[in-house]
Amino acid sequence: MTVTTPALDVVDLGDPATFADHDLDAFWRTLRDTYPVYWNPPVDGRRGFWVLSRYDDIMAAYRDDVHFTSERGNVLVTLLGGGDAGAGRMLAVTDGHRHHELRKILQRVLSPRVLSEVAAAVRVNTRQLIREAVEAGGCDFAEQIASRIPMTTISNLLGVPEQDRDHLLAQTKAALSTDAEDVDEVDSEMARNEILMYFMDMVEERRESPGDDVISMLVASSIDGVPLSDEDIVLNCYSLIIGGDETSRLTMIDGVHTLAAQPEQWWRLKHGEVAIDTAVDEVLRWASPTMHFGRSVVGETELHGVQLRPGEIVTLWHASGNRDERIFDRPGAFDLGRTPNKHLAFGYGPHFCIGSYLAKVEIAELLMALRDFTTGFETTGEALRIRSNFLTGFSSLPVRWRPDHSGMKEVD
């Protein structure tokens, strides 16, 4: 596949193919330097939208709940589609008091204190998967490892039976991160509906027979004395399964892909020259799996001399902010020892990713398992890139492992 650097006037950030077919580093640099508030014009009947590319502008927009709202959608697919059906009910597209109260409910089961047992299970599962893959000599890391760690974790939290997890994984990929060119928006919408219907059935089951999972907790929760409706619960389960799987999975795949290509950074990790937590943050910054989030303007405001008017769409691009030379020293270098590293991989402000702790645990356990059980690894085939205007990463990554025989002898 030929990757090209496009001119500004041929880039359409609403088109998933743009990100699969082009190297956008130079494009983002030009926007940051010259057009920090950039207009992506209407294309093929899709609305135009504003693009923020500088780190500080993105942070300011995340903090500003006076001029911007999430309740008309927070990603291009819904913003351009006219709104989000979960607005005012799903955490990610709810603002104000209800957002605060709903976030408190979900934080009860996603806080570091509560997740200590979950973190221990992530460690056991990850080390077993890596050990088995290293013993086998090679695998498709994306399919056989990265697809299984986050999905297993979030499914355990939600109480999803093991026999249903492959089906849910397939639907989450089709909904937002397919690698197939023949999957269109209709297919993606059907996948999203399939996920919602699946959780509707689970909510009905938990109302009749509660357990100790997140869905049962949501069934028993209320805001201002009013119990959460079935629709409230289903929409937030959808958000948790998508968020809990996609970000971690794509970051893991990108991390292995990048480490395989940069042996000097792998050496630093292998020999303990960088702290695991520091390495995790750089892997997240570098991958930036969630390329953007979006807002709608509700109060007229001005940025860099550009008037933003009510009803207009503003997109905040982590893919650019995490490479902003104004914030990061040598942002184009993958540096596992980078500190400070205030990346935007989890967003910022009131909507900062509620699952960030769990995602960091999963990535950290992967890096430690790779460090302990291998002396290195290499890719053995082309990494297949997903097609999305929201997420970035790979859907396949063939890898050959070089075992660390002393590490493999250890008993976890």
| pLDDT tens by residue, the chain, 412 residues | 334 445 677 799 999 889 987 789 999 999 999 999 999 999 988 999 999 999 999 999 999 999 999 999 999 989 998 888 899 999 999 999 999 999 999 998 888 888 898 999 999 999 999 999 999 999 999 999 999 999 999 999 999 999 999 988 888 878 765 555 555 677 888 888 999 999 999 999 999 999 989 999 999 999 999 999 999 999 999 999 888 888 899 999 999 999 999 999 999 999 999 999 999 999 999 999 999 999 999 999 999 999 999 999 999 999 999 999 999 999 999 999 999 999 999 999 999 999 999 999 999 999 999 999 999 999 999 999 988 899 999 999 999 999 999 888 765 5
Q: Hey, what domains does the chain have and what are their CATH numbers?
A: 8-408 (1.10.630.10)
CA nearest neighbour of 100 among 73, 65, 74: 65
What is the pLDDT at residue 169? 84
Rg over alpha carbons for the chain, rounded to the nearest Å, is 21
What is the pLDDT at residue 1? 36
CA dihedral 298, 301, 304, 307 (to 10 degrees): 80
Residue 120 CA to its chain's centroid (Å): 22
pTM score, two decimals?
A: 0.93
Count of Cβ atoms closer than 10 Å to residue 181 Cβ: 10
Residue 243 CA to its chain's centroid (Å): 6
Task: Sort strands 49-52 and 313-317 into parallel, antiparallel or unpaired.
Answer: parallel
CA dist 148 and 141 (Å) reads: 10
User: Residue 41 corresponds to which tokens in the numbers above?
Assistant: 């014009």
What is the pLDDT at residue 12? 94
* Residue 304 CA neighbour count, 13 Å, CB half: 19
Q: Helix, strand, coil % (nearest 5) of the chain?
A: 50, 15, 35
Task: Sort strands 222-223 and 226-227 into parallel, antiparallel or unpaired.
Answer: antiparallel
What is the pLDDT at residue 5? 46
User: Residue 265 corresponds to which tokens in the numbers above?
Assistant: 């950074």
What lies within 8 Å, CB to CB, of 252 at 6+ separation is: 141, 145, 146, 149, 150, 362, 363, 366
What is the pLDDT at residue 189? 83
What is the pLDDT at residue 109? 83
What is the pLDDT at residue 242? 83
Residue 207 CA to its chain's centroid (Å): 30
CA dist 341 and 274 (Å) reads: 14
The secondary element (H helix, E strand) that includes residue 214 is helix 214-219
CA nearest neighbour of 74 among 318, 321, 305: 318
